[in-house]
Structures are given as C-alpha cells and as structure tokens.
A and B are shown apart, each in its own frame.
Chain A
Amino acid sequence: MANRRLLVKRLKAVRNIRKITRTMELIATSRFKKAMDRAAEAAEYTRKISEIVGDLGRANLKFSHPLLEKRAEEKKSILLVLTSNRGLCGGYNASVLRQTVAHIRGLKEKGIEYSIEVSGKRGTKFMNFQKISFAESYTHFEDQPKFEEVEVLAGRYVQDYIAGRIDRLDVAYTQFVSSSKQFAVVESLLPIASLGGAAGSKNEAEVDYEFLPSAEEILAEIVPAAFRAKLFKCFLDAAVSEQIARMVAMKGATENADEMAGSLKQQYNRARQAGITSELAEIIGGAAALE
C-alpha cells in the first residue's frame, strides 16, 4: 500500500516538472524567434557597412588604421567571455567556458598577459569556482542586448587598443550558424583581420563617389563602426544561441518527463492490480474458511 502512495507522489512530481519544462520550452521558443528577428535586422547594418568599405576600396585608398594593424609583439590582451545569466540551457555555458579555459592556457604558454571580462552570471560563478580572477563582470546583457550597452564596451576597447594598453581582444561566445548549428568559439576581434568589404562588387557598375569630407576620414570613422557592429553581432549570436540551447534542453527534459511519467503510471497500475488481486484472494479465502 505504502508503495502505491509513494508512486502517486512521484508521478505528481514528475508531471509538475514536465509542466515547468514545457513552459520553459515555449518561452525559449518565443524568445528565440524575437532574438532571431533582431539578429536578422542587425545583419542589414553590417551588410551596409561592408558595402561602404567596398566602395572605399575602389577609391584607390590604402587601408591603414590603428585598429587594423597587427602588433609585432602581443603582450597584453583582453578576453571577453559571453555566457548566460540563467541556467537550464544544456551545454551552452559549459562549451563556451571550456573554450575559454583552453584559450587561457594558450595565452599563458605564449606568455601573453590577459585580463578577463565576463558577461553573465553563469560565467562569473564558474570563474569564482575555478579561482580564475576576472577584471570586470556584466550581468545586464539579457536575451536582448542593446546596442547602446555594447557600444560602451566597444568604445573602451577601441581606446585601449589605440592607446596601446591592449594588443589584442578575444571574445569567447557561441557562434550562430543556423538554427540547428551553433558552436562555441574564441574569436579575435582586435586587430581587425578583415573588414569584409568588396564582396559581390564585381558585377556592379563602378560608381564614382564623392567623399565628404574625404575617403581617409570616412575610413577612420568606419573602422571603429565595423568593429562595434562585429562586437554587437557576437552578443546577438550569443543571445540567439542561448535561446536555442535552452529550447533544445527543455524539449529533451519534457520528453524525458513524459517517458518517466509513463513508466511510473505503469508501475502504479501494476501495484494497484496486485493489490486488488490479493484483496480478492483474501476475501475468497475468508469466505471459504467460513463455510
């Protein structure tokens, strides 16, 4: 008897958990759609920037900008780690942090000084646990990072790089390739490797632009803008990937809960049937004894 009551209790608990995971899955789905739309809208800006860069390229201009120059000797670097504020998203944070730790080891071997900046509570918890010290932590980047907020960071990195306080900037985040493919990477954002201009410009008629004030000045302004857009894209990618990871994790959890509820129900039914059978046997046995 006691066994049966226990089974009922467990069944209830499993069903409750299933309800929660199912809701979380639905929330993650709707957030994912929103984040995805934002990322798509942001892509337009990046596309336009590279278009202008391409135009500049045709203006016989030598690309030179402090942010494009690779330092001969890399001494100091900043590593920005993008994790989520909330858990229950499968291996999302773990894979970013695994990449981070591997990268830190690499930096140590090369003797490059590093300072770590972490975004997301999960990341800060991990760093505290591993006793890895970090310079800054941010928790205000939720699932919809704002450009204004990212711009503050970007501005600081640009100044640090130009002033020579850092020689490189790496970002560890989850890159979004498609809705079924995301992976954690450590990407080097500064110095800027390529501006991604001049793509698909072959078949277009050449346009002779007038540059105001001059092509050089436009370049001086557009390089940081391209960097800001790139950094913003990292944040957006991370946000989209987080929602996908949560969606998948919660879908799995819901399915497992379903399976568990099924098997518990079966066990309960068997126990109930066994109880009835034994009661019947007792009654029949009792009646036979009275005769």
Chain B
Amino acid sequence: MNIIVCIKQVPGTTQVEIDPETGVLKRDGVESKMNPYDLYALETALRIKESYGAEVTVITMGPPQAREVIREAFMMGVDRGFLLSDRRFGGADVLATSYTLAQGIKAAGTFDLIICGKQTTDGDTAQVGAELAEFLDIPHVTCVCKLGSITEKSITADLDLPLHTGTAEIAFPCLITVEKGIFEPRLPSYKRKLATRDREITVLTLDDMSDKNPKHYGLNGSPTQVKRIFPPENHNDRQVWEGNDEELTKKLFEYLESGKFLQQLR
C-alpha cells in the first residue's frame, strides 16, 4: 500500500507577530515546528505500515526550510519526502493550497490512502483535507478518531462527529483526516536521524506540475482576501462560589448544563 501524509511547518508558538499591512504572519526568525495535528496523521500512517506493510510518503508545501519537517518525518519512520516549493506558490489560501497539494500528489506518483491532520494550528480552517480530496476526485472522511479493519480494497474508520460517532467504510483510493489523540505519536529517533541524514528530498516546483498555469497557484489562485488577522481574545472569567458540597455540586451542574457543556453526555 502507498500512503501519503500531508504535513505542514507551523510557527513554534502562538506568540507570533502579524504584519499590520498585509495581515500575513511574520514567519521570519520565528521558531517553527511540525503542525501538532500532523503528528497524529503520521502516527496513523506508521501504525498501518507496521501492521499491514506500506510505503509512507510525506508531502509538504512551503519555503526551503520546510525540509526540516520532512527530516523529522524521516526520523519517525517515513520512507519518502516531497517538498512543493516555488515562489509562485506563496500567499496561497485554503483553496490554492489544496489545489497545489493535489497537483503535487499527482506528480509524486500513485497512492491508495492520503492521511491529513484534522487542521493546522496556524490556519485552523480544517478545510484542506476535504478540498484536496475533491480536487483529486476521491472519497474522504474527516475527524477519524479510530481505525477499524483495513482490507485490500477499503478502510473502515470511526468518525468523531459533533453529536455522535459514525462509522464509515471507504474504498481506496481515499483520504482521511484524523483527530488529535487517535494514537500517541512516537518521538523522532536519533538512530533514524543518523540513518536518513543523506536521504533525498524531492523538490517539486510549478514546472513539475501538470497544470502549469501560474494563475491557479499562490496569491493569484486564492479567492480569499484576508482583511485582518488578530489573536483571539483571551477570556479568563473566574467565579468563586461558596456553599456546602451539595449546593456547590448542584450549582456546578446547573452551570455546566446552561453552558451546554454536558450536551455530549446525554
């Protein structure tokens, strides 16, 4: 089986600056790391590889330094890495990103299963997985929280939906996005780091894509216009209640119920 995992390099902290004029994140000089959700996608792929046998490929779009996350993926046990890097890919919104990834995946070879993290911690849209599947014209499910059986033809998975859990069987080739916590991600191995030091990372540019029209990529290919980016307000409401155990328990229950925090338990 061939598995492709889409990964992304994101800022290492939430304390990032935003360019006030362009509304774009200032990435220069900021520590970066692998998108935490992608660790679960990678772990899922590596578990399938260990149980059923598979070749795992990672693909990422970004500047040259995004190689770092591919190296980290190698250190976790990934076999091949592709970097989609071209100035003309820059400034892409969700749609242009998904399109570029779809073109890159087609250029990278055949696949049975694509796994994405549920979302990224910088963009937080959780749309790339689904849009990528549409561009590739393959079925997909999102929010996978548990894997079921895997046959030659399909994969069965549990989906963590807002009000219930669903189970779906999806025919290959297909795409899934996985939830945080599906498996505990393994740590990068120093032994693998030594072993994969010289492993090649294939860089793909616009010239390697089947659609070479630059208007479909980057800022040009992005219908979204970002007016302003700002960090969410940090709510830190505190209430102190007094009373005996029974009163406090009742009050807490009522509070949780009125805030709809208990919805899922019902």
Q: Do A and B bind each other?
A: no
Name B's A-contacting residues (CB within 8 A). none
User: What residues of chain A have their CB less than 8 Å away from a CB belonging to chain B?
Assistant: none
